[in-house]
């Protein structure tokens, strides 16, 4: 939690007078990290996070399109593509690690993966804002 607050404070300081973009950046990063977290449970018969059923491929495609549209509306094209690439790379690496360790997907694993991706995305946004990419 302390890391999340520190990332948001640093992002607020880096953005300077244009503080109205910080909530938009944070919301886009949250959407992207939530998508990468919930995609861990794709194909399972019982979703560990939601008791209403399982995530279908159709639902994953729909949420991917909505998330990509929100990210490309919030960020310039180069930064948006980089954010999506970072989220996909981290999702791939976390999925390989979970598969290699033979872990069962559960709520703490999904939430932990979502938080790791969120922190990485926020760190990228801080670096991009400091270099005036966004």
Q: Is the pLDDT of residue 16 over 90?
A: no
Q: Which two tokens stand for residue 38?
A: 């919930």
pTM of the model as a whole:
0.83
Q: Name the nearest CA neighbour of 120 among 29, 44, 34.
A: 29
Distance from C-alpha of 7 to C-alpha of 127, rounded to nearest angstrom: 11
What pLDDT shows up at residue 47? 55
Please compute the mean of the pLDDT values over residues 35-63 and round it to a whole number: 72
């Amino acid at each position: 939690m302390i890391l999340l607050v520190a990332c948001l404070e640093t992002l607020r300081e880096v953005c300077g007078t244009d503080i109205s973009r910080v909530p938009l950046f944070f919301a886009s990063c949250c959407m992207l990290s939530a998508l990468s977290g919930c995609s861990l449970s794709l194909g399972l018969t019982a979703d560990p996070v939601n008791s209403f059923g399982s995530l279908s491929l159709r639902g994953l495609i729909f949420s991917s399109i909505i998330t990509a549209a929100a990210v490309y509306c919030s960020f310039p094209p180069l930064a948006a593509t980089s954010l999506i690439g970072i989220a996909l790379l981290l999702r791939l690496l976390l999925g390989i690690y979970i598969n290699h360790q033979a872990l069962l997907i559960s709520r703490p694993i999904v939430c932990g993966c979502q938080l790791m991706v969120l922190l990485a995305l926020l760190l990228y946004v801080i670096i991009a804002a400091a270099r005036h990419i966004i």
